[in-house]
Structure 1
Amino acid sequence: MQSAGASTQPTLNQHPLKEYSKYVTFNVMGMIGVSCYILADTFFVSKALGAQGLAALNLALPIFNAIRGIGMMMGMGGATWYSIRKGQHAEEEANRIFSIVVTATFLCSLLFILAGVFFSSQIASAFGADESLLDLSGTYLKVLCCFAPFFMLNDVMICFIRNDGDPNLGMAAMVVGSLANILLDYIFIFPFGLGLFGAALATGVAPVIGICLTLIHWTKPSHTLKFELGHSEFSAKQTLTSLRSSLALGFPSFVMELATGIVILVFNLLMLKEAGNTGVAAYGVIANISYVVIAIYTGIAQGVQPLMSRAFGEGDMALVRKNLHYAVWTIAGVSVLLYGVIFFFSEGITQIFNSEGNAELQAIAVTGLKLYFLAVFFAGTNISMAIYFTSTNRALPAHVISLLRGLLLIVPAAFLLARLLGICGVWLSYPVTESLVFLLAWIIYCVSRRKNVY
C-alpha cells in the first residue's frame, strides 16, 4: 500500500512525458521568475542611474553568482542524494541528509555576511570598480552579502521540496518572490529615491518571501521531508560522509552558477580595457539577458533531475535516458526560438536598457547579442548533460563538463580571442567554449553507453 507521502512523488506507473512536462514546466517558470528580478534591477537602475549604474551593478554580479552557486551546490547536491536514497527506500537517511545540508548552508552563509560588512569596498575594487564606481558597487555588494543566508537557504529549500514531490510550490516560491522584488525595485528606487541600495534591498527581500512560502510544504499531509539532525545514532563520520556525497553531486551546479560570475568578471576586465565603462555597461545588458536564457536551460535540467535521480535509485536506466532525451529535444527547440528572438530584436532589446541613448553602448551591445548568444545551441545541452551525470551518481563527468565551461576553457579563450579579434573575440569566446564542451560531453555519453556503464 502506498503511503500518503509517496503519492506525490514521481512514479513509474505514470506516463513519463506527462511527469516530465509537469516538473519541467513548473521549474522553468520559477527560474524565469528568478532571472526576471535581475532584469528588473538592470532596467530600473539604467533608468535611474544610466550607464554608471549599469556598470556598477554588473561589477557586483560575480559575488551574487558565488552566493547562488553555493546555495545551488548545497541544494542540488543534497536533494539529488536525498532522492536517490529515497528511491532505495532509505527514508531516515534521506531526511538526515536534508538536515545536514540546511545546517551546513546556514553556517557557510555567515562568511558572506562577514565579507560584505568588512570588505565590500575591497571586493568591488578587485572586481574592477574605479573611483567613479566604487561607492555604488560596494553598496550593492554589502547588501547582497548581508542577505546571503536567505539566498542560499531559499535555493536549498526549493530543491528539496521539488524532490519531495512538490514542484508547483517550488515554482510559486520563486515566482512570488521575484514579482515582489520587481515591485519593490520600483518603490525603493523611484518614490523612495534609494538608488542602487534600493535595488539591492529589493533583491534581498525576494528569497525571504520565497522561504516563507516553502514552509507551506510542511503543512501538507503528503510531505515526507523532516528535519532530523539531533539523532545521536547518526555519527559524525556518517554526517561528514553524507555532506561530502552531497557536495560532490552538487559541485557541477556550483560551477555552472559560478561560471556566470567568472565569465562576468573576466569579460568586465576585458571590456574595461577595450571600451571603458561604456563597454562594461554594454556587457551588462548582455549578461542580464544571459541570466534569463541560462535560467530557462537550468530550469529544464533541474526540473528533470528528480525524475532521473528517482529512476536511477530504482534501477530503471531506460527511464533515466528517456527523460534525458526529452530534455535534450526540449532544449533544441527552445534554442532555435531564443536565438531567433535575440538576433532579430537585438536593437530593441538594447534600447530597453540604454536609457541615455548612448550610441556607443548601443552598437557594442547589438553586435555582442548576435555573437555571444550563438552559444545557446550548445550551452543548454551541456547543462542537461552535467545534471544527467549528477543524477546517475557520476560526479566526475559532471565535474569535467562544468569546470571546462566555467573556468578551464572560457577564461583562456576570452583572453586569446580578445587579443586576436578585440571586442568581437570577447563575444565569440563563449560560443567557442560551449561548442567544444558540447563535443566532449557527447563523446563521454556515447562511450559510457557503448561500455554499458549506464
Structure 2
Amino acid sequence: MNQTNSIFRTFLKYVSANIFGMIGLSCYILADTFFIARGVGADGLTALNLAIPVYSFLNGLGLMVGIGGATRFSIAGGSGDKAARRTIFTQAFCFMLCLASVFFIAGLFFPYRLAALLGADASILPLTGVYLRILMLFTPMFMMNNLLIAFVRNDGRPQLSMTAMLLGSLSNIILDYILIFPFQLGMAGAALATGIAPVISILILSRHFIKKENQFHFCRTKVHFKSIRDICSLGVSSLIVEVSSGIVMIIFNMLILKDSGNLGVAAYGILANIALVLISIFTGISQGIQPVLSKCFGKREDTNIKKVLRYALTASVIFALISYGCTYLFSDPIVELFNKEHDTALHAIAVEGMHLYFTAFLFVGINIITAAYFSSIAKPGNAFLISCLRGFLLVIPLAFLLSALFGLTGIWLTVPVAEALVTVTAVFLLMRSRH
C-alpha cells in the first residue's frame, strides 16, 4: 500500500468515527429541545435556551483540557518525548477536577441567581433554575467524559470514542422520553437525562482501561503549571468556540427578547440547537484530523500534513452544501417538529431565521478546520486568533450593528457575515503558513 492510500485510510478512520460521535454528542441538547418542546412547551424552550450558555462554558473547559492534553500526548509520542507522554494525563486530570469543582459548587448554591442573570423572568425562572442546578451538579461527569474521549481517540481507538459518544447520546434520548413523559418530571427530567448520558459514555470508555489497551496512565507527579499552560494553549481554541457560543447566545437572547419577546427566543432556540448538530459534523472532522496531524507533526511528515488538511477542507465544503440544501428545502417540517402548539408566528420566525442563519455553514467548516489544523501543529496563536474572531470579536459588534439596522433579520445575518469575514482571515493565514 502506498503512502497516499495509507494516510487517506487513516483520515477516513478517524474522521468518520468522530463525525458520528460528535453528532451523537451534540444530540444531548437537541434531544432536550425536542422533548421539552413536546412535553413542556414554548416556556420550556425559552428556559432551555437561557440555560444552554452554561452548558457551553462547562463543555468548552472540558474540551480545552481534553483536546489540549491529548494533542500534547500525541505530539510527544511522535517526537519521542517520554516524560511528557507519561505525565500529561495526570496533569490534565487534576486540572479538570479543579475546574469542575467551581461549576459543582455554583450549581449547588446559586442556580436561581444565575438563571436570573441569564435573563429569566418570573415565569421562566423556576424552569431555568432547576435545569441549571442538575446540569451543573453533573459537571465532573461532563468534563471527565470530554477528557477520556480525547485521550482514548488519540490513543488509537477512535471507534471506541465514537461508540461511547453515540451510546451516551442514545441513553439521553431514551431517558428524556421516560423522565419527561411517563415520570412527568419536566425540566428536571431533561436535565437528569442529560447528566446521566456522560456517565454511560464513561462506563463504555472504561473498557480501554479494563482491557489494558491504554498507553496513558495515572502517575505520581507534582502539578506543573508549565504543563497546565501548555494544555490550555493547545486546547484554548476549543474553549473559545464553546464559551463564545455561550456568550453570543446570551447576547442574541437579549436582543431577540427586546425585538420579539419570548416567542423569538423560542424560535432562536430551535435554530441554535439544530445548528449545534450540523456544526458537530465540522467539529467531528476537525477533532478527527487532530490526532493524525499531531502525530505527523511530531514525525515531521510535512507532505502528509498537507494531504490531511486538503482532505478535511474538501469534506467540509461538501457537507456544508448538503447541510444547507437540506435545511432550506425541509425547513417547514423541521420547525414543526419543535412547534407543539402549531404556533404560526413561531413557525414563521423560525423558518425565516433558518434560511438566513444557516448560510453560515458555507464558511463555518473552513474556519473550524483551519483552527484545529494550527492547534494540531503547535501553532496555537493562529488557532486562537481564528477562534476569537469567529467566537466573539466579530459576532458581538455585528449583532448590535445589524440588529439596529435590520431588526430580527439583522440578527439572523450576524453569524453568516462574521463567519465569511473569518474565512478570509483563515485563508490568508493558511497561505502564509505554507510559505
TM-score by length of 1: 0.94
Letter in 1 for 2:421: L
Are residue 98 (structure 1) and residue 73 (structure 2) matched? Answer: no
Match of residue 250 from structure 2: 265
Match of residue 4 from structure 1: none
* Inter-partner Cα distance in structure 2 for 1:27 and 1:253: 15
* Inter-partner Cα distance in structure 2 for 1:184 and 1:249: 35
Residues 180-221 of structure 1 show CA distances to partners (whole Å, capped at 9, x for unaligned) of 110000000011000000000000000011111111112335
Match of residue 416 from structure 1: 401
Match of residue 355 from structure 2: 370
- Structure 2, unaligned stretches of length 5 or more? none
* Inter-partner Cα distance in structure 1 for 2:155 and 2:4: 18
Match of residue 384 from structure 1: 369
Are residue 226 (structure 1) and residue 211 (structure 2) matched? Answer: no
Shift of 1:282: 0.4
* Inter-partner Cα distance in structure 1 for 2:416 and 2:160: 35
Shift of 1:91: 3.0
Letter in 2 for 1:438: T
Match of residue 157 from structure 1: 148
Q: Select 2:129's aligned residue among 138, 155, 178.
A: 138
- Structure 1, unaligned stretches of length 5 or more? 1-10
Letter in 2 for 1:99: T
* Inter-partner Cα distance in structure 1 for 2:86 and 2:392: 34
Shift of 1:258: 1.5
Match of residue 122 from structure 1: 113
Q: Select 2:17's aligned residue among 15, 20, 26.
A: 26
Letter in 2 for 1:280: V
Secondary structure of 1:356 counterpart: coil
Query: 1:166-181 alignment to 2 at 5 Å?
Result: 166-181=157-172
Query: 1:14-53 alignment to 2 at 5 Å?
Result: 15-53=6-44
* Inter-partner Cα distance in structure 1 for 2:109 and 2:391: 28
Letter in 2 for 1:424: T
Secondary structure of 1:165 counterpart: coil
* Inter-partner Cα distance in structure 1 for 2:320 and 2:280: 13
Secondary structure of 2:216 counterpart: coil
Match of residue 301 from structure 2: 316
Shift of 1:14: 6.7
**Aligned-residue CA RMSD in angstroms?**
1.3
Question: 175-184 vs 252-261, which deviates more?
Answer: 252-261
Are residue 192 (structure 1) and residue 183 (structure 2) matched? Answer: yes
Match of residue 345 from structure 2: 360
Secondary structure of 1:223 counterpart: coil
* Inter-partner Cα distance in structure 2 for 1:39 and 1:145: 18
Question: 200-209 vs 33-42, which deviates more?
Answer: 33-42
* Inter-partner Cα distance in structure 2 for 1:67 and 1:311: 31
Match of residue 285 from structure 1: 270
* Inter-partner Cα distance in structure 2 for 1:14 and 1:218: 31
Letter in 2 for 1:183: I
Match of residue 8 from structure 1: none
Letter in 2 for 1:245: D
Query: 1:232-251 alignment to 2 at 5 Å?
Result: 239-251=224-236
Residues 244-283 of structure 1 show CA distances to partners (whole Å, capped at 9, x for unaligned) of 1110010001011122212211111111011100000000
Q: Select 1:216's aligned residue among 203, 207, 219.
A: 207
Name the % identity: 45
Match of residue 55 from structure 1: 46
Report the count of equivalent residues: 434
Match of residue 310 from structure 2: 325
Letter in 2 for 1:48: G
Are residue 66 (structure 1) and residue 73 (structure 2) matched? Answer: no
* Inter-partner Cα distance in structure 2 for 1:352 and 1:91: 52
* Inter-partner Cα distance in structure 2 for 1:175 and 1:95: 29
TM-score by length of 2: 0.98
Shift of 1:19: 0.6
Shift of 1:12: 6.8
Letter in 2 for 1:304: I
* Inter-partner Cα distance in structure 2 for 1:315 and 1:158: 26
* Inter-partner Cα distance in structure 1 for 2:320 and 2:183: 40
Match of residue 396 from structure 1: 381
* Inter-partner Cα distance in structure 2 for 1:54 and 1:221: 44
Match of residue 412 from structure 2: 427
Shift of 1:71: 0.2
